[in-house]
Structure 1
Amino acid sequence: MNKTKEKRRFVILCLAPALILFSVFMIYPTINVFLMSTLRWGGFSDFKEFVGIQNFLILFEDMNFIRAFQNTIFVIVIVTVFTLALAILFAAILVREKIKGQNFFRVIFYIPNILSIVVIGAIFSAIYDPSTNGLLNSFLSLFHEDGWIGVQFLGNQSIVMYSIAFALIWQAIGYYMVMYMASMSSIPAHYYEAAELDGCGKIKQFFSITLPLIWTNIRTTLTFFVISTINLSFLLVQVMTTGGPDGASRVLLFYLYDQAYNNASYGYGMAIGAITFLFSFLLSAVINKITERDDLEF
């Protein structure tokens, strides 16, 4: 009996620091966001007025918020689909084809992930520069009959979100590729040998062996990636476009920041934060449910 009590105390002592830190830095701030979303407050004044759900009612009539929400969904869908598809493809090629210099390619692909998002924003701002200094415009002008075209990649409302999405994809591919390479490398080689003897081609092997056996890893990274995309899109928009042109590149977290700190509508900004939190939580739950399947062991 005493040994059982001692074990409980030991477990509690081990978990207590983590639980305290999690409560202070995660649970309390989250609850506080929902509480502040019910206030009309500038953020820096002593005047606070309780308005209940009024901030939320205004929110769903705010076209700027709706546009930011649409941009966020666009980024999540485009970046997630292309990043994971390319990461899995590159990982499969490097693992299955036995290309020389695998470690070299791992490092090269992984480098963008270790760069600060501010640095990445600066790099792509220079690449998208519409002047003669812009790398992408200089390249495109080689295929244009009249020479210089000066496309406004960050100044055109119809393509600005595609430009931001491409930067996010470039930044993330290497990280997930390395993770998938680790999973694929652990698959026993005799599975593929048996499949080849049965006449299965490499494409069929990929969908029948590789993909099912790394599915658990894909599920985990998919949920993580969706949430990180919501966060990183804010940072990249802040660095590259500051929401322009004419609000065309606003995403949810950027609009939150803009309302809370630039427009002194802190309560309204926290209402946006509450919606973003609920959206992220719901989206993660939906992804986990949709991608749920029996785990395969090998």
Structure 2
Amino acid sequence: MAIFMLYPVVSVFQMSLYKWGGYSPDKQFVGFDNFKILAGDMNFIRSFQNTILLIVVVTVFTLAFALVFAAILTRVKFKGIGLFRVIFYIPNILSIVVISAMFSAIYDPTQGLLNSFLRLFHPANWAGIQWLGNEKIVIFSLAITLIWQAIGYYMVMYMSSMASIPEDLYESSALDGAGVLKQFFSITLPLTWSTIRTTLTFFVISTINLSFLLVTAMTGGGPNGSTEVFLSYMYKQANTNSAYGYGMAIGVVVFGFSFILSAVLQAITKRDIYEF
């Protein structure tokens, strides 16, 4: 813990106070100047906005789809249910580089699967849409990729929690006239809330980390910085622009943001524990 966790964290905080290229033995102490520059850095602010957008969109849609699919695969009995469980989980075991290559091919404007499918219905309107080249929609293209990759993992977690709910509760509620939706919101959701609270923290951390890998593999931060996120901008500053200290200042902000957001989510989602 001390060597691999505490020391690196303290080192990041320490290096953020220096003007340093990363390789030169000369380091100039500048105090909080790096953070002052960050406050006026429009590229950093844009990467901050993109990260917030991805966290919100990916969290909301992944949570919703994972809960719905988990409820269906837990409560509904049909042939091939085991196969569907495996299929949904497959994206989570794929490398993010493989996923990036798959969706880059899907989003290809000329030969991609998405445009080819859309042209079946509106040949003129959907011809050559630049899903990864249009500044207005590219961030949402990345969000869809992240959602697709994450649903299976969280679905399995929710299925494990839902499987522990006694069947008697559903039978009693059915006798009282409760339908499927009523049972979901009155029984399933409250009794899986502790798992949902835990996964919300996972959503934040995984989105920040995976968005960096996805951006690096698919767009490189382009076009014109429209997909730049926290970690990709930090990496470029620290390793490309010879501004290692400045990059570490961004790392400190990412650390503080992740910690504060996780704490806020845990506070606002705190509920009384339901027992059965």
The TM-score normalised by the length of structure 2 is 0.98
Deviation at 1:182, TM superposition (A): 1.2
The 3 A distance-change label for structure 1 pair 147 and 223 is: closer
Structure 1: tracts of 5 or more residues without a match: 1-21
Q: Which residue number in structure 1 is paired with residue 31 of structure 2?
A: 52
SS of the residue 1:157 aligns to: coil
Distance 2:79 2:234 in 1: 47
Q: Which residue number in structure 1 is paired with residue 124 of structure 2?
A: 146
- Kindly provide the amino acid, as one letter, of the partner of residue 60 in structure 1: A
Distance 2:24 2:176 in 1: 73
Q: Which residue number in structure 2 is paired with residue 297 of structure 1?
A: 275
Deviation at 1:146, TM superposition (A): 3.0
- Kindly provide the amino acid, as one letter, of the partner of residue 289 in structure 1: A
- Kindly provide the amino acid, as one letter, of the partner of residue 245 in structure 1: P
- Kindly provide the amino acid, as one letter, of the partner of residue 77 in structure 2: K
- Kindly provide the amino acid, as one letter, of the partner of residue 119 in structure 1: V
Distance 1:270 1:147 in 2: 45
Higher CA-based Rg = 1
* Preserved contact between residue 73 and residue 85 of structure 2 (Cα < 8 Å): no
Q: Which residue number in structure 2 is paired with residue 219 of structure 1?
A: 197
Distance 1:60 1:192 in 2: 53
SS of the residue 2:51 aligns to: helix
For the pair 1:232 / 2:196, whether they are aligned, the reply is: no
Q: Could you tell which deviates more after superposition, 64-73 or 192-201?
A: 192-201
Q: Which residue number in structure 2 is paired with residue 10 of structure 1?
A: none
Q: Which residue number in structure 2 is paired with residue 253 of structure 1?
A: 231
Distance 1:183 1:146 in 2: 47
Structure 2: tracts of 5 or more residues without a match: none
Distance 2:39 2:243 in 1: 16
For the pair 1:93 / 2:72, whether they are aligned, the reply is: yes
The TM-score normalised by the length of structure 1 is 0.91
- Kindly provide the amino acid, as one letter, of the partner of residue 282 in structure 1: I
SS of the residue 1:47 aligns to: coil
1:133-282 equivalent positions in 2, closer than 5 A: 133-146=111-124, 149-282=127-260
Cα RMSD for the two superposed structures: 1.0
Distance 2:174 2:77 in 1: 16
The 3 A distance-change label for structure 1 pair 33 and 187 is: same
